[in-house]
């Protein structure tokens, strides 16, 4: 029995051919665009780091001088990347990407840059789902609230003062929204605590690469 004598079989055959061809086309496109996507993601991440850590303050590549750490203080059970900036081989700043798990509308991913002396180079929000007009002033494009962290440490203000003013701390909350800034402040405080207790680990040299 030929394909032309049975329209159902012919249609199924053609559908299979087009499906295979389509899959191959998608695979080919992905293969060629994947490096471009990765390069764009790398450039975006490096720009975010350089916003917090001036490029002239380090001479290595933080995106390759990277480790992953797992700690409850960083707000997740998943490994958290740590990008290390060094100059002349000496540690300058570590940039961590912790999670504030208790935002009003879910997790808030941060970028927290900590100088070797434990002071903050700065903090930025990488992603969030907070309510526009209420919780989104944590975004640097919505307000300058997040910029207040630069230069602070667990000594300035003292650790018990790391909270929003409604809780007796030093940090402003937003009108009609306390949960969001509270979550960010606590996540930054815990990141500083992690850094204080693990500074040697954070800046530990990468193991030498094996020579094939």
Beta-bridge partners for 83: 66, 95
Q: Count how many residues are written for the chain.
A: 212
CB 113 within 8 A of CB 81: no
CB 53 within 8 A of CB 83: no
Beta strand 90-96 with 106-115 is: antiparallel
Q: On the CB side of 35, how many CA atoms lie within 13 Å of its CA?
A: 3
The pLDDT score that the predictor gives to residue 209 is: 61
Distance between CA atoms of residues 25 and 33, nearest Å: 12
Contacts for 116 with CB less than 8 Å, ≥ 6 apart = 91, 92, 93, 94, 199, 203
Distance between CA atoms of residues 104 and 133, nearest Å: 13
Token digits for 93? 């700043």
Q: How remote is the C-alpha of 82 from its chain's centroid?
A: 9
CB 127 within 8 A of CB 109: yes
The pLDDT score that the predictor gives to residue 16 is: 65
Beta strand 106-115 with 66-69 is: unpaired
End-to-end CA distance of the chain: 58
Token digits for 196? 């204080």
Residue by residue, pLDDT tens for the chain (212 residues) are: 554 556 666 666 666 666 676 666 666 655 666 667 767 777 888 888 999 999 999 999 999 999 999 999 999 999 999 999 999 999 999 999 999 999 989 999 999 999 999 999 999 999 988 878 778 889 988 899 999 999 999 999 999 999 999 999 999 999 888 999 999 999 999 999 999 999 999 999 987 665 55
Distance between CA atoms of residues 11 and 4, nearest Å: 10
The pLDDT score that the predictor gives to residue 141 is: 86
The pLDDT score that the predictor gives to residue 168 is: 95
């Amino acid at each position: 029995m030929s394909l032309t004598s049975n329209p159902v079989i012919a249609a199924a055959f053609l559908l299979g051919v087009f499906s295979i061809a389509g899959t191959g086309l998608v695979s080919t496109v992905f293969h060629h665009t994947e490096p471009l996507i990765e390069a764009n993601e790398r450039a975006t991440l490096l720009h975010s780091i350089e916003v917090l850590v001036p490029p002239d303050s380090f001479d290595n590549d933080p995106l390759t001088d990277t480790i992953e750490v797992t700690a409850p203080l960083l707000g997740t059970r998943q490994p958290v990347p740590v990008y290390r900036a060094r100059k002349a081989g000496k540690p300058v700043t570590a940039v961590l990407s912790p999670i504030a798990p208790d935002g009003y509308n879910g997790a808030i991913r941060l970028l927290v840059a900590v100088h070797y002396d434990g002071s903050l180079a700065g903090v930025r929000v990488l992603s969030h789902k907070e309510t526009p007009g209420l919780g989104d002033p944590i975004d640097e494009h919505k307000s300058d609230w997040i910029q207040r962290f630069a230069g602070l440490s667990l000594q300035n203000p003292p650790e018990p003062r790391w909270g929003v003013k409604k809780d007796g701390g030093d940090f402003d909350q937003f009108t009609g929204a306390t949960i969001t800034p509270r979550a960010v402040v606590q996540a930054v405080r815990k990141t500083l605590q992690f850094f204080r207790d693990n500074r040697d680990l954070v800046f530990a040299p990468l193991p030498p690469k094996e020579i094939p």
